């Protein structure tokens, strides 16, 4: 088993313009490209775990989200990194369809992290979860990860460098 890094998507890796799903609205948070590149160069698997309740609320479709995620992965590759996998929760407690309200995957539940860890042979105890909300941190903690609260719009490299050094022995050059 190997360690990995798990990121929330909106307001952590990408700028959140409210239920982001349009490719033309895609934008990285500050220094994210360099941070992802550093993780990739250090052979740290990169995962995204994201609540996407806009699907349940019928604001956007699975296809919209999938296209947005493909675009995000393409942009990460163009920046010299690789997103290993993305897990998402399509549910929302305010969905009009009762079947789309309740689930066991919406953060702060650790389900998405557990699923990715099983699929990719990841040691959650050696891994890190980074997000901008308490629910992200709780999901990481419930999964057994080291968890860190990111301040949106702060430079990701400055935030991530001490975490990578402490948990992965990686320092920026």
Tokens of 150: 């990111």
Domains within the chain, CATH numbers bracketed: 5-168 (3.40.50.1000)
Asked about 63 being catalytic, the answer comes back as no
- By C-alpha distance, which of 59, 76, 60 is closest to 9? 76
pLDDT by position in tens, the chain (length 173): 999 999 999 999 999 988 889 999 999 999 999 999 999 999 999 999 999 988 778 888 999 999 999 999 999 999 999 999 999 999 887 878 878 788 999 999 999 999 999 999 999 999 999 999 999 999 999 999 999 999 999 999 999 999 999 999 998 77
Give the pTM: 0.95
| Angstrom distance (rounded) from CA 43 to CA 21 | 29
Q: Which residues contact 54 (CB under 8 A, 6 or more apart)?
A: 19, 21, 60, 65, 92
Q: Would you state the pLDDT for residue 93?
A: 77
User: What's the Rg (C-alpha) of the chain?
Assistant: 15
Asked about 10 being catalytic, the answer comes back as yes
pLDDT digits (tens, 9 = 90+) for 94-140: 878 878 788 999 999 999 999 999 999 999 999 999 999 999 999 99
């Amino acid at each position: 088993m190997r360690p990995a890094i798990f990121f929330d998507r909106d307001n952590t890796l990408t700028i959140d313009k409210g239920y982001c799903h349009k490719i033309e609205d895609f934008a990285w948070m500050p220094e994210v490209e360099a941070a992802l590149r550093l993780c990739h160069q250090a052979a740290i698997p990169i995962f995204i775990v994201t609540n996407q309740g806009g699907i349940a609320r019928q604001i956007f479709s699975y296809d919209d989200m999938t296209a947005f995620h493909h675009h995000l992965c393409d942009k990460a590759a163009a920046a010299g990194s690789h997103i290993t996998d993305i897990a998402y929760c399509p549910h929302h407690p305010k969905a009009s369809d009762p079947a789309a309200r309740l689930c066991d995957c919406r953060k702060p539940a650790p389900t998405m992290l557990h699923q990715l860890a099983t699929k990719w042979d990841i040691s959650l105890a050696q891994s890190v979860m980074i997000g901008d909300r308490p629910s992200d941190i709780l999901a990481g903690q419930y999964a057994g990860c080291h968890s860190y609260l990111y301040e949106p719009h702060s430079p990701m490299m400055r935030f991530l460098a001490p975490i990578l050094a402490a948990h992965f022995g990686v320092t920026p050059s």
